[in-house]
Amino acid sequence: MPGRFGRVLTAMATPFDQDGSLDLDGAQRLAQHLLANGTDALVIAGTTGESPTLTFEERQRLFTAIVEVAGGDRVMAGTSTYSTAESVELSEMAEKAGAGSLLLVTPYYNRPPQAGLIEHFTAIAGSVGLPCMLYNIPSRSACLIEVDTVLRLAEHHNIVAIKDAVGDMAAATRIWRETGGSLELYSGEDKNLLPLLSVGGVGVVSVLSHLVGPDIAELIRAWEAGDTATALRLHAENLDLFEGMFATSSPILLKAALAQLGLPGGPLRPPLVPATPAQEEFVRGLLDRHNVVRPAGLSG
């Protein structure tokens, strides 16, 4: 059975106009495209959405615009930063904007101890009436939520899921075992989706669902139905795409792919830079090999 947020959550790119300003019309069109192509819910203002470059006011406008076209239950707002007070303020704003849930990333740069993580996440989760998903990604944040800390946080009534970008299947198994599956496990990396499903995972917060959303949804449904051969085939067929699109800092190659497919995306905000000509050609080759074609009726 799918998790409470569905099987496939897309960590949505944030479209910008050529002058770098927020493209709300493009964001709404991209959201609608994703929801029609394998996505169950949208994660807005996450890493893929270039959240560090978004102002408070831009996040507010973005959350409101996506809720308008998707409905609040299908919108998960990224609201956690390295400041607990700022995270609480962002979370309260997202709730008022109509978001149905929150994604809470580990504080980055200041590297709090485990006791600090408990205080941070507990303060945010207690400030709103929304279900929250923890986001464990030490490769970006230099801060790991240890298994015992995850288990402590899972006791909070609003903390109901975790996005696992650690890739430690033994640790994930312990979380599943000790919570009885009540804290739902979502893969934070497309390439680790199938392994995580095998140890109790229920879905994925995906970047590649921008491109192959129906395949990713089918992979999870096949696994749930006991058709492990189909799940493995889809995993293997898409593995080059799952890995290749992260050959440089994300979402550089994703935005190159969106442009090639005519989907809303636009430029990146500094300090990220556009794909080089060689990277553009690499992306074009990946799309061609995986038969990812320009969708009809939608341009960026």
Q: Which of 108, 109, 135, 191 is catalytic?
A: 135
Structure tokens at 199: 């140890």
- The overall longest dimension of the chain from CA atoms, in Å, is 51
Question: What's the distance, Cα to Cα, between the start and end of the chain in Å?
Answer: 35
Task: Tell me whether residue 163 is one of the annotated catalytic residues.
Answer: yes
Of 82, 109, 163, 255, the catalytic one is 163
| Identity of the amino acid at 289 | R
User: In DSSP terms, which residues pair with 11 in a beta bridge?
Assistant: 43
Residue 108 bears catalytic tag: no
Q: In a 10 Å sphere around its CB, with 0-12 CB exposed, 13-18 middle and 19+ buried, how is residue 208 labelled?
A: buried
CA distances from 108 to 113, 137, 175 (A): 12, 10, 23
Catalytic residue numbers read 135, 163
